[in-house]
């Protein structure tokens, strides 16, 4: 493993441990509630959920399948909003630690004086981001698979793998966006503002755009469209959609390298 990748992972270790524990705790807590929900269809069934306003149902995923089915509960409470939100935030924090944070703290100036090409520096920081995020995704996937089996949700493992893969690719895209903005602007605040705006706008456009014609055409530029529209928990791997997410990540990385290469970071 390249020295800069391993050093970056060491620098990220506390954040990675914290995010892994937090995400796993969230998943374990919500999945442990499923037996109670499944045993009370009069409170959580489709008839009860129709009482929610239409706009709220859209934002939370439409409650497709209802809370009382294993796949509906898993999709609505884990893979629709809260799971992606946690992973995206984790990825954004790691992405900011790649370029923007060390530049603001003054430590990046020391790194770029080393005999290493700036484009390679960005590439290896991205590799550390991807590996760290993959570790969080892998550990949380094992937990979800175990919890789903323990509470008898009756969701096939390959569907859970498909959903978790989508969450990882979506988060990696936003983490790379954070890295790219940080490489171009050198400021954590700007990077987080851009990522937050794209994430919120993208989610609202994708969920509301299904029923609002005025914004429906914007769904095609929302990253969430290529995660949610293929319905991985229900149908398995949407390969084309996931390739779009991966391709967009590569484009952002290829943008970050020359952007950082041209900038003056004070050396």
Is 138 a residue whose pLDDT tops 50?
A: yes
Q: Which residue has the higher pLDDT, 37 or 151?
A: 151
266: in domain: no
| Choice between 252 and 121, residue whose per-residue pLDDT is larger | 252
251 part of a folded domain: yes
Q: Which burial class, exposed, middle or buried, applies to 100 when counting CB atoms under 10 A from its CB (0-12, 13-18, 19+)? A: buried
Spatial distance between the Cα atoms of 81 and 60, rounded to a whole number of angstroms: 7
Mean local confidence (pLDDT), 192-199? 95
Q: What tokens were used for 145?
A: 């698979």
- What interhelical angle do 3-32 and 82-98 show, nearest 10? 160
**pLDDT score of 116 more than 70:** yes
SS3 106: coil
Mention every residue, 6+ apart, whose C-beta is less than 8 A from residue 57: 49, 63
Domain count, the chain: 1
Whether 38 is covered by a domain: the verdict is: no
In this structure, is the dihedral angle defined by the CA atoms of residues 156, 157, 159 and 160, taken in order, positive or negative? positive
Structure tokens at 219: 């769904």
> What pLDDT sits at residue 267?
47
Q: Is the pLDDT of residue 54 over 80?
A: no
- Confidence label for 182 from pLDDT (cuts 50, 70 and 90): very high
151 contacts: CB under 8 Å, gap ≥ 6: 31, 32, 34, 35
Q: What percent of the chain has pLDDT over 70?
A: 90
- Residue 188 located in a structural domain: yes
Domain that holds residue 239: 3-33+75-261
Whole-number Å distance between alpha carbons of 93 and 88? 9
The SS3 call for residue 169 is: helix
What does pTM read for this prediction? Answer: 0.91
Asked if 70 and 6 touch (Cβ cutoff 8 Å), the reply is no
Q: Per the domain annotation, does 220 fall within a domain?
A: yes
Backbone angles phi, psi at 32, to 5 degrees: -70, -20
Please check whether residue 54 lies inside any domain of the structure: no
For CA atoms 5, 6, 12, 16, the dihedral sign is positive
Residue 68's pLDDT is 75
Asked if residue 200 is part of any domain, the answer here is yes
Query: Residues with Cβ < 8 Å from 111, sequence gap 6 or more?
Result: 4, 102, 121
Instruction: Tally Cβ neighbours within 10 Å of residue 2.
Output: 13
Residue 7 CA to residue 128 CA, distance in Å, equals: 9
Task: Please compute the mean of the pLDDT values over residues 252-260 and round it to a whole number.
Answer: 94
- For the segment 135-161, the average pLDDT, to the nearest whole number, is 94
Asked whether residue 168 is domain-assigned, the answer is yes
> How far is C-alpha 254 from the geometric centre of its chain's CA atoms?
20
Q: Please provide the size of the chain in residues.
A: 267
| pLDDT over 80 (residue 114) | no
């Amino acid at each position: 493993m390249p020295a800069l990748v391993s050093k970056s992972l060491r620098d990220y270790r506390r954040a990675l441990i914290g995010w892994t524990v937090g995400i796993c705790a969230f998943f374990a807590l919500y999945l442990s509630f499923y037996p109670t929900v499944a045993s009370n269809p009069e409170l959580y069934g489709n008839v009860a959920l129709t009482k929610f306003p239409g706009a709220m149902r859209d934002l939370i995923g439409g409650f497709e399948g209802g809370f009382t089915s294993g796949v509906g509960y898993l999709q609505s409470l884990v893979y629709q909003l809260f799971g992606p939100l946690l992973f995206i935030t984790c990825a954004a924090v790691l992405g900011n630690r790649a370029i923007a944070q060390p530049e603001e703290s003054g430590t990046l100036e020391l790194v770029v004086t080393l005999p290493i090409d700036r484009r390679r520096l960005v590439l290896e920081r991205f590799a550390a981001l991807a590996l760290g995020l993959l570790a969080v995704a892998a550990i949380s996937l094992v937990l979800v698979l175990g919890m789903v089996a323990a509470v008898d949700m009756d969701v096939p493992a390959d569907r859970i793998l498909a959903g978790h893969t989508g969450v990882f690719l979506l988060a990696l895209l936003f983490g790379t966006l954070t890295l790219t903005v940080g490489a171009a602007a050198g400021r954590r605040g700007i990077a987080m503002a851009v990522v937050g705006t794209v994430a919120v706008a993208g989610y609202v456009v994708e969920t509301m755009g299904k029923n609002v014609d005025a914004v429906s055409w914007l769904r095609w530029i929302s990253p969430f469209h290529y995660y949610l529209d293929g319905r991985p928990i229900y149908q398995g791997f949407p390969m084309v959609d996931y390739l779009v997410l991966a391709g967009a990540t590569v484009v952002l990385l290829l943008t970050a390298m020359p952007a950082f290469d041209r900038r003056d970071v004070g050396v």
